[in-house]
Structure 1
Amino acid sequence: MTTTAEAPVLGLLDGRPLPRTGLDRRLAALRTGPRAAALPAPGSGEDRQLARWVAQVLLTEALCEAVAAERGLTVRPGAAPARLDQQAAVELGSITAAAYEGSAAVRAVCAEVTADVEPSAAEVAHYRALTERPPSAALWRLALPDGSTFDAAPDTLPLALSEALRAAPPGAWVSAAGWTATRLATAPDPVRDTDPSAVVRAAARRAAFVRWLDHARATRLTLVPGLEHPGDPAQPDNHHRH
């Protein structure tokens, strides 16, 4: 929701105004940083959208700082930023991912509110079924006459070479389709040989944190005109259309 009057504030947390100075500092740092050339022109609609996006990051950080204090969580000041992989960042969403990477309080709250989230055995089995290769697609470890080796799935090789290697015993040299190679062994399949529980657990906890954070934002944060969510269809700079 938004307030009805303009105010030089970032937003309200539990009804308490948060100063806009933090947003001004963050935007100034971006304007003088190494990626300044990629930022939108000052005063443009895209520039105002950037301010809205950064405001949501700062509000998320402020919210989690308050929650961390309320719960007595240990937040190490000056902690180095975290780095999420692409999948984790997409699952969290760009605003939450930026807040998570930059704020130790966000990371501490995430760990606290998702500590009891565990995937079921069925969820782990489903993930394994979706990601593991069938036995017929197990990788082969091949050697070439020059001594080099590489791993390849049989169906990625030239058909004649694949059929010749399949018919020959391991260690036998074959020539087909202009290639000479020998199949040394079946290469280990990292998907098949690794327990996916940790991957599924991490994804489940990210999803749970997003749900928790959406609720906390809705109940504790109040947005102000000009710093609405950048995806809010009611604000004038949202030009996204279907």
Structure 2
Amino acid sequence: MTEEYAAQVLGSTVPKARVDVLLKAVPARDRETRPEALARSERQRRRWATQIVVVDELARQACAQRGLRGAGLYPSAAPPNDGAAPEERPTTALPAERDVADLGSIVAVALAHSPAARTLLEQLEREQQIPEEAAYDYYDRNRDRFLTPAELTRGADPFHETSDLLPYAQVREGIILELRRAAGRRAFFDWLDRARADVVYAPGHEHPGDPSHPDHEHRH
């Protein structure tokens, strides 16, 4: 009998129905017409969707262990956002409307659909401690980002000694927030790499880049 789960995550099974929900919620980006190409595309899409659901399951378990609230995903067999169609969902699904395209398609979509993943990422960002020296070093190494408006207008060389910069005290908070955000993302990826090391996938739900299946590919 074929397994009714897509993956086993830390002793819990992830039903195939959760993968099906995500496949319906996220339209295919490939428009294949040839039967063999369409079949391959759909196999890869299922593997890709499984990865996203696994990220959500891992994040839910991590949030529960940390006692974080507000991290529940949509029910296992119901679409996200109480059944709203994709075009009806709020455009503020991502935390603070952050640009997450650089995180790769799996993590970006997981953050868009999983409150647990967003909650965990935000918590990891809050936990990061940025030393004052690191913040000032960033200010000093990125002078081009902190030229005064007048210097920008005249096209000044930001690394010339006489160039006027915005005072460090004025931009310090923004620098710390940016560094904390970057450190939080690194911590999120480190956590994810460790957390999914022991995930067991059912046949047909392996990672799309897994070289053990013949039509693997690794897309971001």
Cα 1:101/1:72, change in 2 over 3 Å:
same
Letter of the 2:155 counterpart: P
Letter of the 2:150 counterpart: W
Residues 48-99 of structure 1 show CA distances to partners (whole Å, capped at 9, x for unaligned) of 222211111111111211222333321166776225533x442x43212221
Separation in structure 2 between the aligned mates of residue 191 and residue 229 of structure 1, nearest angstrom? 45
Gaps of 5+ in 2: 75-80, 82-89, 158-162
What aligned pairs does 1:64-213 form with structure 2 within 5 A after superposition? 64-75=59-70, 81-83=93-95, 84-86=97-99, 88-90=100-102, 92-133=103-144, 139-140=149-150, 152-154=153-155, 193-195=170-172, 196-213=175-192
Cα 1:98/1:134, change in 2 over 3 Å:
closer
Query: Percent of pairs identical after alignment?
Result: 28
Separation in structure 1 between the aligned mates of residue 57 and residue 115 of structure 2, nearest angstrom? 11
Gaps of 5+ in 1: 142-150, 157-185
Cα 1:237/1:52, change in 2 over 3 Å:
same
Report the counterpart of residue 22 of structure 1 in structure 2.
18
Separation in structure 2 between the aligned mates of residue 191 and residue 101 of structure 1, nearest angstrom? 34
2:30 counterpart of 1:51: no
Separation in structure 2 between the aligned mates of residue 206 and residue 48 of structure 1, nearest angstrom? 29
Query: So what's the TM-score if we normalise by structure 1?
Result: 0.63
Separation in structure 2 between the aligned mates of residue 228 and residue 191 of structure 1, nearest angstrom? 49
SS in 1 for 2:209: coil
Separation in structure 2 between the aligned mates of residue 113 and residue 205 of structure 1, nearest angstrom? 5
Contact 1:132 1:192 in 2 (8 A): no
Letter of the 1:234 counterpart: S
Separation in structure 2 between the aligned mates of residue 131 and residue 49 of structure 1, nearest angstrom? 41
Cα 1:155/1:53, change in 2 over 3 Å:
same
2:36 counterpart of 1:39: no
Q: Please, what is the CA RMSD of the aligned residues?
A: 3.5
Deviation at 1:207, TM superposition (A): 0.6
Contact 1:139 1:188 in 2 (8 A): no
The number of aligned residues is: 189
Greater strand percent: which structure?
1
Letter of the 1:217 counterpart: R
